[in-house]
Structure 1
Amino acid sequence: MSCGDEHETDCNEVLAEVWLFLDQECNQNRRDLLRQHLDECHPCLAQYGLEEKLKELLARKCGGEQAPNTLKARLRDQIRLAVLEQAQVTVESGPGGTTSIEVRSTRIERRV
């Protein structure tokens, strides 16, 4: 998804990390960058709002029960994979602990 406007951080990148943002699983610099984008981009802010409401609903409906840590880790991994796939981001681990990240995006140009 892209709103078509120029941002320091691409819309697909922001939406791929919205759950990390909601769960406060990214560092403060990244949170600030994502927050700035959400403040500037109404389509991303709307999507963020949906994700935030979903998280609140899940917490309210499932709040009293504790899932095993292994299940939490598996779910977290599957959600990350689904979000990265939707945002067309590929992450590969290489030898020696190196990581390669590829972001495929479509650039939309608007004529004014």
Structure 2
Amino acid sequence: MSCGEAHETDCSEVLAEVWLLLDHECGEERDAQLRRHLAECGPCLARYGLEEKVKTLLARSCSGDRAPDTLHRKLREHIRATVLEQAQVTVERTPAGGTVVEVNSTRVESWRQG
């Protein structure tokens, strides 16, 4: 999805990460980047608001019932994998303890020193 306007972050990326943003699972820099986009893009802000309402409704409807930790962990892993797939992002761990992130065919490498 795209609103047709030029943004620092593409609308499809923002929408793919809406639930990560709602669950406070983004790093500070990414959180700020997504929120800047929402501040300037009405269609994405509306979609964010809808997802926020769904999350609130789900929380209220569950009335405190908590899923087992194993189910919670599996759901989180599945949601993360789906979000990364939709955003066309792959994350690989290297044998040396580093991380390779590929975003839309742009490869970024980082490694641990020490």
Larger RCO: 1 or 2 (CA < 8 Å, sep 6+): 1
Aligned to 2:39: 39
User: Helix, strand or coil for the counterpart of 2:101?
Assistant: strand
Match of 1:22 in 2: 22
Report sequence identity in percent: 66
Q: How does 1:1-112 map to 2 (within 5 A)?
A: 1-104=1-104
Is the strand fraction higher in 1 or 2? Answer: 2
Which ranges of 4 or more aligned residues in structure 1 deviate by more than 3 Å? Answer: none
Q: How many residue pairs were aligned? A: 105
TM-score w.r.t. the length of structure 2 is 0.77
Gap runs ≥5 in structure 2: 106-114
Instruction: Tell me the TM-score normalised to structure 1 length.
Output: 0.78
The CA RMSD measured in Å over matched residues stands at 1.9
Deviation at 1:71, TM superposition (A): 1.2
CA distance in 1, matches of 2:4, 2:91: 25
Higher helix share: 1
Unaligned runs of 5+ in 1: 106-112
